[in-house]
Each structure stands twice: as structure tokens, then as C-alpha cells.
């Protein structure tokens, strides 16, 4: 009975020890392989030394000893460093992505997911969703910035598109620049065009060498070449219209152009009514063509008009009948010029000398209008008609009275002198008059006489003499031989007629008329001169209500007119003109001058010695200049073919170049310079802003102090610089000095090839490096730095700073990734620890917890009683609410906190989520196992003692 009881008690103790050991081992195994808040199982595979994470009974992640990792491979081994079956989603991918397929860009511009370059030599650069989507050719050298910019370009080269949808239809067109939303939206194959503004040239499809700048400029024009259209809504055009060789500058200038060409329209709404008209020049605010279809017309300020087909110009009249037709008063004053060969033919007016002309040696008076010796015609009209016929015709009030030709003096009608009933009638009988002398009495006591003499000449003298001896006489002389006072010749028959004025005993000639019978001498009429040099030669002033000249040979004519003057030509600088409607304008053969500004005729050589200000058109080069020319800016060498220059001292010397502003220079072919001192020296270069410089082909510099020095480089902002091929710098002080480098933001620097620096004062100095944030640096090759003040020094190193407190931290080791200064969440947005994972984790290697004694302090042994406390832990199975149907094993944190509070952590979130440190459970479990082992050892000793006693009893 005693032996049986002892055996039973021993067996009971052994069974209890076995159950307790099994329970303890199960608890340890549960602590090693289960995480409390996820159904994740960590499995160590001893057969191949791999580690796997299992969830829901299936293998999710496997990590092998060669460093390769597989995700969702359904039990298969990974074939690459990272082998994923399924979709990969992340906030960033680092690397060149050369082997990635099926990757969808879901990040923003700053993450560069929507940036690309071509697949050959990286000569093309695109930023924006859909930008350059099909551009994968070699050496295309295109730049697209903005969603869908250059979206369809295939073989087109050297295009620049900046803005949403800019050049989005272009396929094979080359050398185009589109800046602004929708710029050149319809262009497909056209080349060498520029559009800048909001939806500029939206419907343009074909044509070359066009420049469109302004919002909605040339919006509906579909086809055309060699146009320069500047200004909001300028040259909007009709739908599907064709416009060529047109210059339109100003808001809504040329707004309705449709199938027109060769027009120049300058000013606010200038020529906005013009539709199909061609070869027009319209300058001024709200100045329109006379009709929508007008051609070959000139209109400057609704004051100066012209017919370009006939060369006629009108001032104050829109239908000039002669070369210069003035509606209004023309006044000439003394400009103080010296009379020499350079001013020959000029006229002037002075108070002392009256109207004078220059004969290349001295100024000579023409008579009329001076302060003395005036001849006043009153309301009587005096006409000198058709000088080419050799006749002088005198009309009184429009009725022909006297005609003088080379043969005779013709007096129309019956010539009667009548006074108080006394009548004298002179009739010609044969070769002379029938009366040799007659004296008539006049009621005012005036005596008159008629004389006839014979000999080598016939002299007829008719005189009026007052009682005081004052006399005025009309004398005619007809010579057949000998010398005379008209021509000192003995062999020519000639005649003369003189009007004499006596003062004292001396007769002074007031007028003189002479002619030659043989035709060698033209009829000459002199006023206040006995030696007339022209058909009418006046020594003195002329004052008349109206004078009309046909302009033939009318050089050196000075006229003072109260009334309308019409002539084929006026010569002079017009410096003394006043009261001219529409402004002070004169035609000086080659140009029109207004207050020192000259408008030159096509085909004339520009003369810049007058003050260097004007409007010029170079017909041979189809070039146009507006403004002031200084320091040789308007010299022949500085005028490019088809160029346009506007402003002060601008130079547009390149083919189809455009320079605008102050001292800006566009010397490259198809270049554009705008601003103060801007320079566009490369082909197709664009420089806009104060001191902007685009110094190489296809370079763009926009902003104050911007600098783009190499092929395809772009600098935008203020004081930015892009100094290598295809470099791109945007911001304030940004610098992109590497090939295809990008610097975005204030003070950013992309110093090496293919580097990227964004945000604020970041530096990317390593090749293929990326620096983002504030003051971060990426100095290693293919390094990445993100955050504030962090530095990626090692090659292929990556550092992400999540707090400004780690500023200045440097990662020097190569191929190292560091995330510093915060918490990282996977599957959740509010991590509570450094790495917070919502989901399953599977690995094949070792999960290590740093336990070096040198890292620890205040080391104390665990108190006894661990076995009893662990016995209080309730192991449960459960399902997470967000993953129903998936059974997991673990403990309840609230219950476990009552036993081991130091192994439970409460998160700083809205619900105070609790989690259990399962790794920390190992230490108390080890202590519990030690206590259990001590009890087992004691039981073994007792059992051995009982076995010995039983054996002794059995031996008895």
C-alpha cells in the first residue's frame, strides 16, 4: 500500500512538471513568433536559413541569406534582390528606374514622377503630366514644361514648350517656342515660330518664322509666315485664316485680319477693322483703314494718309491727289541752316528777306511775305499754269485775262480804259499803234502818256504820274539788232517789258519780262530784278491768298500763304511750320519728320546724324525699327534679315531676330531679346528681363539677371543661372551647372550632371544626386537628401530628416539609408513609435534586438515569482476588427498590463491604443523557466530518492 501511494504521488508530480514545462515552452514559443496586434507569424527555416513572415497561414514575405527578398510569391523563392508579385506603392522611388515597368506616376512635380527625358542622349527634358509622352528619339533637344506640353512630338527637334498644353499637337515641327497655356495648341508640323502669352496662336497650324506675343494673340490664324504680332488680342484673325508678312503691334491691332498680307499695324486697336486688305501701313491709337478690304493705304494718326500704289501722301485729307496734298495751312520758318551743296533747293522765310531759296552758294530772296515791298493780291486769284508749255497765264477771279507765250502777249476781249466817261481804246493797226503819244486828263490830276519810237527797236512807254512828280510807267521794247538790257546779244531778236517806279529823277524797275524770238530764250518774268533766271523770278516777298503749283521743278520756292497750298513737292525741314492740323510734318524726299522722329521711305539709306530717333523700314532686308538708334545700333551690320527692333539702342542683327527695350541685343538667328540690356546671342535664344542673357542655341533666360549660357539651357526667375547643356534653373538665385541638371527654388544649386536641387538653399553636388527641403545637401554619387540641413555624403547614400532638430546630420557611409528625427508609419498615418507597421511583417533573416552590455545601465536581476506571474497570463485567440476571418494568437494588452505594466505601451492617439512588447516578454519567461527548472530539479531529486527507497523495499 505504501509503495503504491509513493508511486502514485511520484507519477502525479512528474505529470504536473511535464504539463508546466509544456505550458512554459508554449508561452515562450508564442512570445517568439506572434505579434499582439497582427496575425503575423515569424518563421525561421533551418533547412535553408531563410526567414519568412506568414499571415493567415500563407507566406507573405521571405528573406534569404543572399540578401534577396520576395513579397507575395506564394512559397516560391525570389529571383531578384526585391521580387514582388503584385502592385508596389510608395511615396518615393530612388534610382534611375531603368528596369521598372508598369510604374504609374502618382506623385507631384516636386517628386519628379512626372518628369522624363529621351531614352538616348538625354538631350530632351520634360516636366509635367503627359509632357513629351512619345518623345523617345535620339538627339531631339526638346524642352517641355507643363502638363501635355509637347505631348505628341516625335521627330520634331529644338522645340521649347512651357505651359499647360503648349505645343501639345506638334509632331514633326522644329525650332518652335511656345510659352503659356495652350501656346501653339494646333501646330503639328510648322517650324521656326514663337508664341508667348495666354493661349497665343491657339489655332495656328502651318507656316514659319512667326512671332506672336500677348494674350489670345493670333488666336484664330491657321496659316502664314514671317508675321510679327505683339499685344493682347492682336491679330486674332478670322477662323482658319491665312496671314503673312504682317507686323501688328498693340492691343487688338489687326484684330480681324483674314487672308491678308504685307500689312504694318502699330498702335492701340490699329487697323482692327482690316480683314482682307494688304500692303497697308496704319499707325496710331484707334486708327483704322478706310475700309475693311483696303489695300496700299497709309494712315498715321488719322492725320497723314497715303496711297502706296501711287506714292501720294495727304496731310488732313485721306484722298491725296498729288505727291503731297495738304489740307490746311503750310508755314515755313528760318531754321538757321547754312546754304551749301548739301542744302541746295531748300527754302526758308525770314522777316527781313521774305521767302528765300538756296542755290548751293547763298540764300536768294524769292519775293512776297516780307516786312517790306509786299504785293497784296486781295481776293484776286493769280495762277501760273503749266510751266512746261512756256506760257504765263494771268487769271482774275477765275477768268482768263492775259496769256503770254514766246510769240505774243494776248489780252482777251475789248480792252477798255474808262474813267468818268472818258474812254481810250487801243487797237493794233499793222505793226504799230496808230497813236504815237496821247496825254489824258484824270479827275485826280493824274497824267498818262503813250510813246512810240522807231529805229533798231520800238519802244512804247505808258506812264502814270502824279502832281508831286511820282511816276509809275509800263515800258515795252522790241529789238531787232544790237545790244539790249535783256540779253547782251547782237544777233538775236528779243523783247522786253518793264514796269518802272520813279523816285526823284531815277526810274527803278519793279518788274521785268523778256523773251527771245528764236526760241533759245524762254519767256522770263522778273519782279524787282532786270535779270530774271526763271519764268517767274521774284526778288522780294510774295503775299497771296492762294498759290497753286504743279511741282515740276519747283525747288528753292519760298511762299507765305494765307489759305490752301497744294503742290507735288515741298522741300525743307518744316521747322517753321505752325498751325498744321495733325502735327508738324514735312516731306524731305526720304522721310517724314515730326519733332525729331523720322519715318523713312522704303529703299532709302538711314541717316542717324539727326538725333537717332525714328521709325525705319529696311526694304532690302524686310527689317523694321522703331525708336532711338545709338552707338551704331541701326548700322547696316546690326540690321538682320526680317528683323524687328523696338526701343532705345536695340540691336536685332540675327536672321529673323527680335529686340525690344533698352540696349537689348538679339544677334542669333530667330532670337528674341526683351528688356533692359538683355542679350539673345544664340540661334533661337530667348532673353527677357533686366540683364537677361541667353548666349547659346535654344537657350532661354527670363527674368532679372538670368543667365542661360549653354545649349538648351533654361533660366527663369531672378538672378538664376543655367550654365550647362539642357540645364534648368527656376527661382531666385537658383544655379544649375551640370548637364541636364535642375535647380528649383530660392538659392538652390544643382552642381553636377543630372542632379536635382529643389525648395530652399539645397545643394546637389554629386552626379545623379537629389537634394530637397531646406539647406539639405546631396554630395555623393546618386545620393538623396530630404529634410532640413541633412547631408548625404556617401555614394548611393540616402537620408531623410523628419525634424529640424537633426539639422547638420551627415550620412558618410556608402549605400546607406537613414530616416532620422521622427516616426515612420507603414499602413497608418499616425505612427506612435519609430517604426509603426499596420499589417504583416515577414522576413527570413534574424530579427535582432540590441543587447550589448555597453549600451545598458542600472542592470538588475528579475525578481522571483516570474513563474507565478506568467501563470496568470491568459493566452487567447482572436480576430482583428479590420481583418475579420483571420485568426490570431496573443494576449490582451489591458489584462497583461495588470501583470507586467512595463511591457505595455499606450499610444498618444485619440483612443490611447495599447500594444504589448512581446520581445520584452522573453526575459520574465526565461526567469519563469529558471524557477520551473529549479522545481523540476527538486522533483527529480525527490523522485530519484523515492526510486531508491522503492528499490530498497523491493530488494527486501
- The dihedral formed by the CA atoms of 809, 815, 821 and 826, expressed in degrees to the nearest 10: 170
| CA-based max dimension of the chain | 211
Contacts 24+ apart (CB under 8 A), 762-768: 766/792, 766/795, 767/738, 768/96
What band does 401 get if pLDDT is binned at 50, 70 and 90?
low
| Per-residue pLDDT at 486 | 38
More confident residue, 550 or 348: 348
CA distances from 764 to 200, 633, 785 (A): 36, 42, 9
DSSP state, residue 552 = T
Q: Does the pLDDT value for residue 402 go beyond 50?
A: yes
Q: What value does the mean pLDDT of the chain take? A: 76
User: Residue 307, class by beta-carbon neighbours within 10 Å (0-12 exposed, 13-18 middle, 19+ buried)?
Assistant: middle
Describe the strand order of the beta sheet including 471-479 as a list of residue ranges: 447-450, 457-465, 471-479, 494-503, 506-516, 524-527, 536-538
What band does 896 get if pLDDT is binned at 50, 70 and 90?
very high
Q: Is the dihedral of CA 248, 252, 254, 259 positive or negative?
A: positive
The average pLDDT across 848-869 equals: 89
Is the separation of the CB atoms in 342 and 588 below 8 Å?
Answer: no
Span 173-204, pLDDT tens digits: 999 999 999 899 889 999 999 999 999 998 89
Span 862-886, pLDDT tens digits: 999 999 999 999 999 999 998 899 9
| Per-residue pLDDT at 931 | 92
Least confident of 521-525, 665-669, 818-822: 521-525
Ranges of each domain in the chain: 1-41+865-956, 427-538, 598-626, 651-739, 751-844
More confident residue, 77 or 747: 747
What band does 47 get if pLDDT is binned at 50, 70 and 90?
low
The average pLDDT across 602-628 equals: 73
Is the separation of the CB atoms in 320 and 303 below 8 Å?
Answer: no
What band does 435 get if pLDDT is binned at 50, 70 and 90?
very low
Q: Which residues of 721-740 are buried (b: 16+ CB within 10 A; e: fewer)?
A: bbbbbbbbbbbbbbbbbbbb
Question: Is the pTM here over 0.85, yes or no?
Answer: no
DSSP state, residue 109 = G
| Per-residue pLDDT at 338 | 87
DSSP state, residue 863 = P
Least confident of 87-101, 127-141, 770-784: 87-101
Span 749-796, pLDDT tens digits: 999 999 999 999 999 999 999 999 999 999 999 999 998 999 999 999
Instruction: Return the percentage of the chain with pLDDT > 90, whole number.
Output: 35
Q: Does the pLDDT value for residue 611 go beyond 70?
A: no
Task: Determine phi and psi for 921, rounding to 5 degrees.
Answer: -70, -15
More confident residue, 889 or 111: 889
Span 789-846, pLDDT tens digits: 999 999 999 988 887 777 778 888 888 888 887 778 887 777 877 777 777 787 788 7
| Per-residue pLDDT at 471 | 60
More confident residue, 941 or 42: 941
Q: Does the pLDDT value for residue 606 go beyond 70?
A: no
| Per-residue pLDDT at 377 | 40
What band does 461 get if pLDDT is binned at 50, 70 and 90?
low
| Per-residue pLDDT at 926 | 93
Span 674-699, pLDDT tens digits: 999 999 999 999 999 999 999 999 99
| Per-residue pLDDT at 297 | 92
How far apart CA 572 and CA 592 sit, in angstroms, is: 11
How far apart CA 680 and CA 660 sit, in angstroms, is: 11
DSSP state, residue 392 = E
Q: Which of 430, 503, 433 is nearest to 462 (CA)?
A: 433
| Per-residue pLDDT at 501 | 58
| Per-residue pLDDT at 93 | 62
Describe the strand order of the beta sheet including 777-778 as a list of residue ranges: 651-652, 665-666, 679-680, 693-694, 707-708, 721-722, 735-736, 749-750, 763-764, 777-778, 791-792, 810-811
CB atoms within 10 A of CB 182: 25
Task: Determine phi and psi for 665, rounding to 5 degrees.
Answer: -130, 125
How far apart CA 823 and CA 909 sit, in angstroms, is: 13
Least confident of 214-218, 539-543, 734-738: 539-543
How far apart CA 877 and CA 913 sit, in angstroms, is: 19
Q: Does the pLDDT value for residue 853 go beyond 80?
A: yes
The average pLDDT across 510-519 equals: 51
Least confident of 11-25, 526-540, 668-682, 906-920: 11-25
The average pLDDT across 578-605 equals: 60
Span 248-291, pLDDT tens digits: 999 999 999 999 999 999 999 999 999 999 999 999 999 999 89
Tell me which residue has cell 523563392: 77
Instruction: Return the percentage of the chain with pLDDT > 70, whole number.
Output: 67
Q: Does the pLDDT value for residue 385 go beyond 90?
A: no
Least confident of 55-59, 517-521, 712-716, 900-904: 517-521
**Chain centre to alpha carbon of residue 25:** 79
CATH of 651-739, one of 3.40.50.920, 3.40.930.10, 3.30.930.10, 2.150.10.10: 2.150.10.10
Q: Is the dihedral of CA 42, 815, 817, 758 positive or negative?
A: negative
Is the separation of the CB atoms in 298 and 315 below 8 Å?
Answer: no
Range from 110-114, 636-640, 682-686, 846-850 that averages highest in pLDDT: 682-686
| Grid cell in block for residue 700 | 532661354
| Per-residue pLDDT at 460 | 53
Amino acid at each position: 500500500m505504501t509503495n503504491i501511494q509513493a508511486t502514485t504521488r511520484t507519477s502525479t508530480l512528474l505529470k504536473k512538471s511535464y504539463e508546466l514545462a509544456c505550458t512554459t515552452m508554449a508561452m515562450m514559443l508564442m512570445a517568439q513568433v506572434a505579434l499582439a496586434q497582427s496575425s503575423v507569424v515569424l518563421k525561421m527555416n533551418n533547412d535553408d536559413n531563410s526567414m519568412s513572415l506568414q499571415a493567415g497561414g500563407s507566406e507573405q514575405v521571405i528573406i534569404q541569406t543572399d540578401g534577396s527578398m520576395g513579397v507575395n510569391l506564394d512559397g516560391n523563392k525570389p529571383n531578384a534582390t526585391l521580387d514582388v508579385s503584385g502592385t508596389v506603392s510608395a511615396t518615393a522611388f530612388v534610382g534611375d528606374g531603368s528596369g521598372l515597368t508598369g510604374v504609374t506616376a502618382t506623385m507631384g512635380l516636386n517628386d519628379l514622377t512626372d518628369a522624363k527625358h529621351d531614352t538616348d542622349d538625354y538631350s530632351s527634358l520634360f516636366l509635367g503630366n503627359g509632357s513629351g509622352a512619345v518623345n523617345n528619339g535620339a538627339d531631339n533637344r526638346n524642352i517641355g514644361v507643363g502638363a501635355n506640353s509637347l505631348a505628341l512630338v516625335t521627330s520634331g527637334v529644338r522645340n521649347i514648350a512651357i505651359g499647360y498644353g503648349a505645343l501639345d499637337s506638334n509632331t514633326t515641327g522644329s525650332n518652335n517656342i511656345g510659352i503659356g497655356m495652350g501656346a501653339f495648341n494646333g501646330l503639328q508640323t510648322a517650324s521656326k515660330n514663337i508664341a508667348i502669352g495666354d493661349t497665343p496662336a491657339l489655332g495656328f497650324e502651318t507656316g514659319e518664322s512667326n512671332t506672336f506675343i500677348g494674350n489670345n494673340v493670333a488666336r484664330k490664324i491657321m496659316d502664314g509666315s514671317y508675321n510679327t504680332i505683339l499685344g493682347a488680342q492682336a491679330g486674332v484673325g478670322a477662323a482658319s485664316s491665312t496671314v503673312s508678312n504682317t507686323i501688328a503691334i498693340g492691343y487688338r491691332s489687326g484684330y480681324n485680319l483674314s487672308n491678308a498680307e504685307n500689312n504694318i499695324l502699330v498702335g492701340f486697336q490699329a487697323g482692327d477693322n482690316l480683314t482682307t486688305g494688304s500692303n497697308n501701313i496704319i499707325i496710331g491709337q484707334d486708327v483704322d483703314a478706310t475700309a475693311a478690304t483696303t489695300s496700299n493705304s497709309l494712315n498715321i494718326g488719322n492725320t497723314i494718309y497715303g496711297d502706296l500704289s501711287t506714292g501720294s501722301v495727304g496731310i488732313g485729307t485721306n484722298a491725296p491727289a498729288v505727291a503731297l496734298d495738304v489740307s490746311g495751312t503750310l508755314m515755313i520758318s528760318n531754321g538757321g541752316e547754312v546754304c551749301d551743296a548739301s542744302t541746295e533747293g531748300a527754302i526758308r522765310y525770314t522777316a527781313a528777306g521774305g521767302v528765300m531759296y538756296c542755290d548751293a552758294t547763298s540764300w536768294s530772296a524769292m519775293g512776297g511775305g516780307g516786312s517790306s515791298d509786299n504785293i497784296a493780291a486781295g481776293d484776286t486769284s493769280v495762277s501760273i499754269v503749266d510751266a512746261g508749255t512756256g506760257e504765263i497765264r494771268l487769271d482774275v477771279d477765275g477768268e482768263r485775262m492775259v496769256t503770254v507765250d514766246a510769240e505774243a502777249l494776248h489780252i482777251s476781249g475789248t480792252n477798255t480804259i474808262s474813267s468818268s466817261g472818258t474812254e481810250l481804246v487801243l487797237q493794233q493797226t499793222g505793226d504799230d499803234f496808230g497813236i504815237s503819244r496821247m496825254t489824258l486828263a484824270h479827275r485826280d490830276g493824274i497824267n498818262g502818256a503813250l510813246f512810240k519810237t522807231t529805229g533798231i527797236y520800238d519802244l512804247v512807254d505808258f506812264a502814270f504820274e502824279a502832281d508831286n512828280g511820282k511816276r509809275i510807267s509800263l515800258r515795252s521794247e522790241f529789238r531787232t539788232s544790237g545790244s539790249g538790257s535783256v540779253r547782251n546779244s547782237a544777233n538775236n531778236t528779243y523783247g522786253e517789258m518793264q514796269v518802272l517806279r520813279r523816285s526823284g529823277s531815277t526810274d527803278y524797275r519793279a518788274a521785268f519780262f523778256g523773251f527771245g524770238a528764236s526760241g533759245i530764250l524762254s519767256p522770263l518774268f522778273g519782279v524787282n530784278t532786270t535779270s530774271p533766271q526763271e519764268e517767274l523770278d521774284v526778288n522780294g516777298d510774295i503775299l497771296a491768298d492762294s498759290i497753286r503749283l504743279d511741282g515740276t521743278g519747283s525747288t528753292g520756292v519760298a511762299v507765305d500763304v494765307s489759305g490752301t497750298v497744294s503742290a507735288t513737292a515741298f522741300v525743307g525741314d518744316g521747322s517753321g511750320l505752325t498751325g498744321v492740323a495733325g502735327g508738324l510734318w514735312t516731306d524731305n524726299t526720304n522721310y517724314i519728320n515730326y519733332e525729331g522722329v523720322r519715318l523713312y521711305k522704303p529703299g532709302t539709306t538711314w541717316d542717324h546724324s539727326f538725333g537717332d530717333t525714328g521709325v525705319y523700314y529696311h526694304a532690302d532686308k524686310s527689317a523694321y525699327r522703331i525708336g532711338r538708334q545709338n552707338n551704331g545700333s541701326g548700322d547696316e551690320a546690326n540690321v538682320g534679315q526680317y528683323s524687328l527692333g523696338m526701343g532705345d539702342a536695340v540691336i536685332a542683327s540675327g536672321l529673323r531676330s527680335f529686340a525690344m527695350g533698352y540696349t537689348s541685343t538679339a544677334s542669333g538667328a530667330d532670337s528674341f531679346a526683351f528688356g533692359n540690356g538683355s542679350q539673345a546671342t544664340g540661334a533661337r535664344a530667348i532673353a527677357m528681363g533686366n540683364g537677361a542673357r541667353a548666349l547659346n542655341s535654344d537657350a532661354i533666360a527670363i527674368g532679372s539677371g538670368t543667365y542661360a549660357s549653354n545649349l538648351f539651357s533654361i533660366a527663369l526667375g531672378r538672378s538664376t543661372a543655367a550654365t550647362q547643356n539642357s540645364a534648368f534653373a527656376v527661382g531666385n538665385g537658383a544655379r544649375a551647372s551640370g548637364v541636364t541638371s535642375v535647380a528649383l527654388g530660392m538659392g538652390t544649386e544643382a552642381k553636377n550632371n543630372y542632379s536635382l536641387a529643389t525648395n530652399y538653399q539645397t545643394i546637389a553636388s554629386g552626379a545623379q544626386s537629389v537634394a530637397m527641403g531646406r539647406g539639405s545637401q546631396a554630395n555623393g554619387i546618386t545620393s538623396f537628401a530630404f529634410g532640413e540641413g541633412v547631408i548625404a555624403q556617401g555614394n548611393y547614400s540616402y537620408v531623410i530628416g523628419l525634424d529640424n532638430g537633426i539639422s547638420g546630420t551627415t550620412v558618410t557611409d556608402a549605400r546607406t539609408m537613414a530616416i532620422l528625427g521622427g516616426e515612420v508609419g507603414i499602413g497608418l498615418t499616425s505612427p506612435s513609435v519609430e517604426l509603426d507597421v499596420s499589417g504583416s511583417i515577414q522576413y527570413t533573416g534574424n530579427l535582432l534586438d540590441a543587447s550589448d552590455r555597453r549600451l545598458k545601465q542600472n542592470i538588475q536581476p528579475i525578481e522571483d515569482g516570474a513563474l507565478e506571474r506568467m501563470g496568470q497570463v491568459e493566452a487567447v485567440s482572436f480576430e482583428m476588427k479590420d481583418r475579420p476571418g483571420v485568426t490570431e494568437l496573443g494576449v490582451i494588452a489591458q489584462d497583461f498590463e495588470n501583470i507586467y505594466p512595463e511591457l505595455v505601451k499606450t499610444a498618444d492617439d485619440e483612443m490611447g491604443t495599447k500594444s504589448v512588447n512581446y520581445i520584452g516578454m522573453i526575459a520574465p519567461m526565461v526567469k519563469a523557466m529558471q524557477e520551473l527548472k529549479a522545481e523540476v530539479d527538486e522533483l527529480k531529486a525527490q523522485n530519484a530518492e523515492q526510486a531508491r527507497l522503492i528499490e530498497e523495499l523491493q530488494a527486501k
